[in-house]
Structure 1
Amino acid sequence: MFSSYDGLCGIGELAERAGVSVKTVRFYSDSGLLPEASRSVGGHRRYGPDSLERLRMIRSLRTMDLPVSVVRRVLDEEDTAGRVGGALEDAVAGQLRTLGSQLRALHWREAALRSVQECPAAERAGRLRLIGAVSAPPNTAPLARFWRGWLPPRMPARSVAAFLEAAVPQPPDDPAPAQVLAFARLYAMVSRPCDGDEPTQPHAHKASGGRASAVLYAGLAEAYDLAGTEMRQDREPCPGEALDGFVDAYASARNTADTPDFRRTLARQLAADPRIDRYWELAAELVSPPAGPTEPTPGSAHDWLLAALNTQSGTPLPA
């Protein structure tokens, strides 16, 4: 309660009690956030007993960097319902999302700067150009476009989405300098103009029709997961459930039986197909902990399964 005869206070006293400037109180009043109770004969603003608590609430909300429009929604809800509820919850959640994005950007910028700083002086200009082409935090859309051009046409959207989830590595929120460099190299790889002689879709992956493509890639995803489990345990390529699923994916897509002859033919086809090993090497660098073991990728799992198939079928390993 204010000590004046009418229980009201002027703008200076209110500002002093709240620990803000008179200019701040005037701004909130003019914005409609802090209503005046009345005006004095001389035209000075007068505020009621509830103004101090309301001003402290406004200040707290603004300290969290919430915009005036959001502060207004929170206060309107309090005025209507008598309490602060969903509007504040939504505002805090939205602010946390914004801060999370800003933190990711800062982590990427810091790691990018360290990558430039730590490389030999003669390489810094080139490193800077390479990394500077990537936004912070990075956008994976160019990687997705690369794979959409590589996948078979008419493949169902759900199957495409599932493949992209596995094939497009998600950049870590707090990357090491080497991971920033790996993503920059990936970005450069998928963004450069395509030459007419560059291989596109591997012949062994070409299935007739969208349904056959969906069957193939769904089966491969399961086989890659199984192979990844074997690889994390440092097991050498060998026959087993993973290889059986791998071969069955191709056989089912081609509507044929899994026979020894089919396995030998498939091994030869896969060995002769174009490869994008560099993509998977960089993807592995991006998703693996800097000081930890290399995480399997669809590419490394494919190589593990192909090695197992070559060993079983007696097909020479590709050079």
Structure 2
Amino acid sequence: MRYSIGELARRTGLTIKAVRFYSDRGLVPPSGRNTAGHRRYDEAARVRLDLIRTLRDLGVDLATIQRIVDGETTVADVAARHAEALEVQIRVLRVRHAVLTAVAKRGPTTEEATLMHELARLSEGERRRLVDDFLAEALGDRPGLEGIARTLTPELPENPGPEQVEAWIELAELTRDKEFRALLRRLVEQHEGGLRRDLAAEVRDAVTPALEAGIAPDSPAARAIVDGLGRDPGQVKEWLALVGDPRRERYLRLLAIVNGWAAPESLAPAFGWLAAATA
């Protein structure tokens, strides 16, 4: 079957101008001409135009399409390379979307928005150095705390979701907070000073039932719970002033989002109750 350039355009959904352009480029050569000298195209030209339109819709450039038509490469090879390139673009777009979403929510200053963008664009190695520096200053050179360091390390996946990118931005900002670093350092010093790491778990187990039972923090029953912890009240107050800082819990919540973990249990109510009971 022979088609005029107009018929070929209608069958492929392209404009006559587009068909003529591809024909002039040698991508779809005519199979002949009629007696008036007008171009005629065969079924192979229609099939080739359908392929060209599809590849152009997928973002393949004309030079690459020419190589496919000339048999220098295959559609499969080109598709694989373009899929990889698109994956990179998708990751970039996810980051941009997350940054814009965070900016819209938080209404930062120009300087803060710039910082958020920079933090989101960090490479894996740059993110690792930022976190390592944070943990080194917060925990110090203590081999016994390597396990804690691992549990505090964010690992942004290769293809993070918008929520993970947004959480990383806020978490990275926290790691740069000198006051937050100092707070964690004081918690480590308290740990080494005799307040065991599992004190938070002991408080949860002892105080949560009291909260659920509606026991007032200034009652004799509350005093018995505090005494049952077996800790110096002054030390407990000092510990609560640090562990009850909302930045600590926020870091753990953001860490869970970035790493894809279950949301941590909030101990803020228990800490608040204990602070009142030891006041």
Structure 2-normalised TM-score? Answer: 0.50
Give the TM-score normalised by structure 1. 0.44
